[in-house]
Amino acid sequence: MKSGYVALIGRPNVGKSTLMNELIGQKIAITSRKPQTTRSRIETVYTDERGQVVFLDTPGIHRAKNRLGEYMDTVAEKTFSEADLIVWIVEPVTYIGAGEDRIAELLRTRNKAGRPVLLVINKCDRLKDSSELEPVKKAYREKADFDKIIAVSAKEGKNTDELLDRIYGYLPEGPLYYDEDTVTMIPMRTIAEELIREQALRQLSDEIPHGIAVVVESFKEKRPGLYAIEADIICERDSHKGMIIGKGGRMLKSIGTAARLEIEAQLEARVDLRLFVKVRKDWRDNEGFMRNFGYDLRKM
């Protein structure tokens, strides 16, 4: 029986959350085309006859511009020391920027225990021919040492079974950490917050989403098969509040409808979802607000 913790690391928007959802066969982490969608570490569990893999999906490593960014980078870097295997996820391009250089440096300085490292080249469905992978592999081999390089498409599920085989191959023998039916330890209340934020990310203009947080204030089962949820969408500016609500409340209604359908799919029950918009100026640079909104390193 194999078991262990696997850290998924990489720059923002390389597809870490999409890949993790594909590997476990269920949507837990939210996704969007906007970078820095994942803000906190998300743990999920995959169990089969070979053993158990605990995936640690981390925020994309980037140049922090505020305290929230610093929190996200600290979460990602701290995960290095807690994993049995590190999976670095990249896109199929030969250009290696400052972000990738920083990750390579972290691998040299934070992986002193010599944990195995897999390089996963995601989004290979974008390539016309597999020969285009060779210069990508060469570019990354010049930056770091890898135990294996694998090309996948998380979007299409291509080569993800091979990746899972490789992951098991590098994990130590050990017991199951969680029950076989466990998929995640994240409370449903938190998942609901993330699903609401996901719809805000997808539907709002680029200038707003990074300044948004979501807090579920009430989560009640009114009767079997029906939940009542009230949540606040937090933004940093009065002008953003108006844009989130939209003309005649249409934008807020659209976000709420899409989020409700996602939450109902998770709960397998009907949901009465009510959303409110509140302004907390510059909350991303306020540690008190950050802790209230769930971004607290002391709880890691």
Q: pLDDT tens across 215-229, in order?
A: 999 999 999 999 999
Structural domains in the chain plus CATH codes: 2-170 (3.40.50.300), 188-299 (3.30.300.20)
State the Cα–Cα distance between residues 179 and 236, nearest whole angstrom.
41
pTM: 0.83
Label residue 62 by pLDDT band (50, 70, 90). low
Residue 33's pLDDT is what? 64
% of the chain beyond a pLDDT of 90: 56
Q: pLDDT tens across 132-190, in order?
A: 999 999 999 999 999 999 999 999 999 999 999 999 999 999 999 999 989 888 889 99
